Amino acid sequence: MITVETAHSILERLNATPLKGAALRRRAMELLDELDTYNWSGIYRLEEDELVLDEYVGAATDHTRIPVGRGVCGTAVAENQNQVIEDVRELENYLACSIQTRSEIVVLIKDDSRILGQIDIDGHQVGAFDQSDEKLLESISKILADKWTE
């Protein structure tokens, strides 16, 4: 759950940077990492039929390449649909990055014609994410898509 004020502050600071491409994506993940409920914040780029780990803030993960259709991340691409998972322990198609993770949200990054990648956030609390988080991440996705390359 993100308040309107918090979302506004993050978007304002992201819009204020002159950064582009990977540096902008890094800045976005650093801003999201300030939020208490965001315990791992990262971006995957879609390269053909695989998601490739891009900028992230949090513990290193084994899942640096994820095939489309696998896990929460791959499902988002396969179904062309954001994912908001209240409790990852209830999923069969799930790739664990940390045993502490309880909830996850994945929001797609798209330009006009295709999926460029996604923002993936893990939380340690059950039900950490809702529509307010999805809305903030959608706004960030648009900013990142507009400045995807350097």
Q: Is 26 in the site for ligand SME (CB under 6 A)?
A: no
- For residues 91 and 103, give the distance between their C-alpha atoms in angstroms, rounded to a whole number: 11
Q: Is 128 in the site for ligand SME (CB under 6 A)?
A: no
Q: Is 115 in the site for ligand SME (CB under 6 A)?
A: no
Q: Is 63 in the site for ligand SME (CB under 6 A)?
A: yes
Q: How far is the CB of 9 from ligand SME (least distance, A)?
A: 25
Q: Is 122 in the site for ligand SME (CB under 6 A)?
A: yes
Which conformational region is residue 21 in: left (phi greater than 0), alpha (psi within -120 to 50 degrees), or beta?
A: left
Q: Is 10 in the site for ligand SME (CB under 6 A)?
A: no
Query: Is 108 exposed, middle or buried, given 0-12, 13-18 or 19+ CB atoms closer than 10 A?
Result: buried
Note the Cα 17 to chain centre separation in Å.
20
- For residues 108 and 91, give the distance between their C-alpha atoms in angstroms, rounded to a whole number: 20
- For residues 55 and 77, give the distance between their C-alpha atoms in angstroms, rounded to a whole number: 18
Applying CB under 6 A, among 14, 66, 107, 140 the residue interacting with ligand SME is: 66
Q: Is 105 in the site for ligand SME (CB under 6 A)?
A: no
Site residues for ligand SME per CB under 6 A: 40, 42, 61, 63, 66, 71-74, 94-95, 97, 104, 120, 122
